[in-house]
Structure 1
Amino acid sequence: MNSISSPFPVNAFTSTEYHLQLSTVTGFFQQDDNATDPDRFDYASSNLGLINRTYPSDLLFDPTGTKTQWQRFEHFVRKLDANPGNSVHYKVLFVGRHGEGYHNVAEAFYGTPAWNCYWSKLDGNGTITWSDAHLTPTGIKQALNTNAFWRHALSEAKIPAPEAYYTSPLDRCVATANLTYADLPLPHSCPFRPIVKELLREALGVHTCDRRSTRSAIRAAHPSVTFEPGFPEQDPLWVPELRESTSHHTERLRALLRNIFATEPGMFVALSSHSGSIAAMLRALGHRPFPLQTGGVIAVLVRADRAPGPAPVVPVDPPVPAPDCGSGVVQK
């Protein structure tokens, strides 16, 4: 597609024979609970929000009570998914927001109204550049903090290492994934090999920070990445005049998740994405809103039910133009 005025086929990755209905399974993570304040949530000190509780499989798996909470949770979830011929499957998503980027700094400096109506359309301001925004030093530090969390969690909490890694093609997400998972003591069976997924990117259009670089430039900057099949050289989705609607964004992320469930055999999956796309992902899963700070991470237990017939067509709103600045909005 050349313009988001022609909606992306958001019901892709389904067949005429069946479709996947995705939903959040609650009761296992603090972030599922309405009593958990996202502004006070600390993924590192809360064990990624995993609730301290028992599971039906504990009696046989951990009769002496020596296993960690994550070991018991992993065993429980794998047993849920183990029935042959089951039409229900589960995955645990480790969803991370990229570290602070230069576009975040610019929006904070100019204010959101001026950013949305004027500055976000530019490549930069002559001092900093935010087109396909890179990480700031603070963003790099946030990603390294997440790396330290994983290093400790793998050895002490016995959290299962991701079995697959997916990232948005935008530089700040690829860089965050590399800093987060590189050089960790990962199992040989599950090495860090990030796969770039086009649909995992931020809301489309207008904002140059959300316009991706060419495939060649991404490869040159991040040689370790793998591109999903058919990933094109040029950005096919971003346009300067129109911004993707919220409902279209949600259905795009639903299509992405259906694709991952249909093609990814791993149960524990890491995703490096953006605030808006994580919000869209959670809406698609029926999860409560849970905004993340830059560099933040949450875990989500997802159930996929295989339902007969093609996926229902969900109406989506058309894209919208950037807001008009009016008078007096752009002050700096």
Structure 2
Amino acid sequence: MDATTAYSLHRCKVLHLVRHGQGIHNVEGEKGNHVLLSDEFFDAHLSPLGRQQVDNLRKQVQSCGLAKKIDLVITSPMSRTLQTAVGVFGSEGHSMTVKEENGAKSTLNSPPIVAVELCRERMGLHPCDKRGSISEYQSNFPAIDFKLAKSEDDILWKADTRETMKEVTDRGKKFIEWLWTRQEKEIAVVSHGIFLQEILHTLVNDPSMNTTRFQNCEIRSVVIVDRSSTMGSCHLPSDVSKESVPREEVSK
């Protein structure tokens, strides 16, 4: 039985949590975190492997029927997540652009894609986690809605200070609370490894469940249930299949 049948549908939301495809910083970062301090990786975009991962995930969500169920796509406003969101959930003829390439195609016949600052990666110190200007993104990704961006330039990222994990967790809680203000019921969230992991840690209090770091282009799907005004426990499968996209209960 689908987990949503146990509760009134207006109190449930289905979240499909997606980490971006491999970025150029992920490749070099294997040499050590010190590499990520380089300005070379500013607002890191997808690597060739990352693009292939996005194509593969697109085929999976199309073949299992998930693409037709999603009401809204929320993405972090970073090049690698924008590329992933458009590449996986955009319309046919989608384009995973970076500045030097042609503009992205319109996402007609696909769910709206909205950029939200709250679901960015842990910010500070690493240039790969500093975003570019909103006007540049709007030019490269015209199918994405950037109206919720806080400013034209990145005022959240600090060169000399990195967010604490508690600050990331608190931001994740605000993000979940914001999701409950949305009317959409089935939502894809395209974000980053640390942020997605902290969301699961916030929602999950069962140590046996899968709250490990997301792999690049991994998707995990959960149902959140609004039982009260406070955050409660939740449950996730220990091994989430990308193809079957199972749904498990998460209590709010």
Please give the range of the TM-score, normalised by the shorter of the 2 chains: 0.7 to 0.9
Which letter maps to 1:220?
S
Which letter maps to 1:143?
V
Report the equivalent of 1:179: 87
Q: Is 1:80 aligned to 2:25, yes or no? A: no
Q: 2:220 aligns with which of 298, 302, 306?
A: 298
Greater Cα shift, 133-142 or 226-235:
226-235
Q: Shift of residue 276 of structure 1?
A: 0.4
| Structure 1 segment 70-109 matched on structure 2, within 5 A | 73=2, 77=4, 80-82=7-9, 89-108=11-30
Q: 1:120 aligns with which of 29, 36, 46?
A: 36
| 3-state SS of 1:92 partner | strand
Per the alignment, do residues 224 and 160 of structure 1 end up closer, same or farther by CA in structure 2, a change over 3 Å counting? Answer: closer
| Structure 1 segment 148-163 matched on structure 2, within 5 A | 148-154=59-65, 161-163=69-71
Q: Rg bigger for which structure?
A: 1
Report the equivalent of 1:282: 200
The two structures have a TM-score, normalised by structure 2, of: 0.78
Per the alignment, do residues 82 and 147 of structure 1 end up closer, same or farther by CA in structure 2, a change over 3 Å counting? Answer: closer
| 3-state SS of 1:216 partner | helix
Aligned-partner Cα distance in 2 for 1:91–1:82: 8
Per the alignment, do residues 240 and 140 of structure 1 end up closer, same or farther by CA in structure 2, a change over 3 Å counting? Answer: same
Report the equivalent of 1:58: none
Report the equivalent of 1:244: 163
Aligned-partner Cα distance in 1 for 2:67–2:138: 30
Q: Deviations 1:60-80 (Å, cap 9, x if unpaired)? A: xxxxxxxxxxxxx2xx61672
Q: Shift of residue 231 of structure 1?
A: 3.0
Aligned-partner Cα distance in 1 for 2:184–2:109: 9
Q: Shift of residue 121 of structure 1?
A: 2.1
| Matched residues, number | 213
| 3-state SS of 2:229 partner | strand
The two structures have a TM-score, normalised by structure 1, of: 0.60
Per the alignment, do residues 90 and 190 of structure 1 end up closer, same or farther by CA in structure 2, a change over 3 Å counting? Answer: farther
Q: Shift of residue 284 of structure 1?
A: 1.7
Q: 2:180 aligns with which of 261, 276, 279?
A: 261
| Structure 1 segment 1-332 matched on structure 2, within 5 A | 55=1, 73=2, 77=4, 80-82=7-9, 89-108=11-30, 110-112=31-33, 115=34, 119-124=35-40, 130-154=41-65, 161-183=69-91, 191-229=110-148, 231-262=150-181, 264-286=182-204, 288=209, 289-307=211-229
Identity, % of aligned positions: 25
| 3-state SS of 2:39 partner | coil
Which letter maps to 1:135?
L
Q: Deviations 1:92-112 (Å, cap 9, x if unpaired)? A: 11000000001101111x223
Greater Cα shift, 279-288 or 95-104:
279-288
Aligned-partner Cα distance in 1 for 2:145–2:158: 25
Root mean square deviation of aligned Cα:
2.3
Aligned-partner Cα distance in 2 for 1:294–1:285: 21
Q: Shift of residue 204 of structure 1?
A: 0.9
Aligned-partner Cα distance in 2 for 1:306–1:207: 38
Which letter maps to 1:249?
V
Contact kept, 8 Å, 2:75 with 2:82, in 1: the verdict is: yes
Contact kept, 8 Å, 1:121 with 1:240, in 2: the verdict is: no
Q: 5+ unaligned residues in a row in structure 1: which ranges?
A: 1-54, 56-72, 84-88, 125-129, 312-332
| 3-state SS of 2:214 partner | coil
Contact kept, 8 Å, 2:132 with 2:153, in 1: the verdict is: yes
Which letter maps to 2:199?
M
Q: 5+ unaligned residues in a row in structure 2: which ranges?
A: 93-107, 232-252
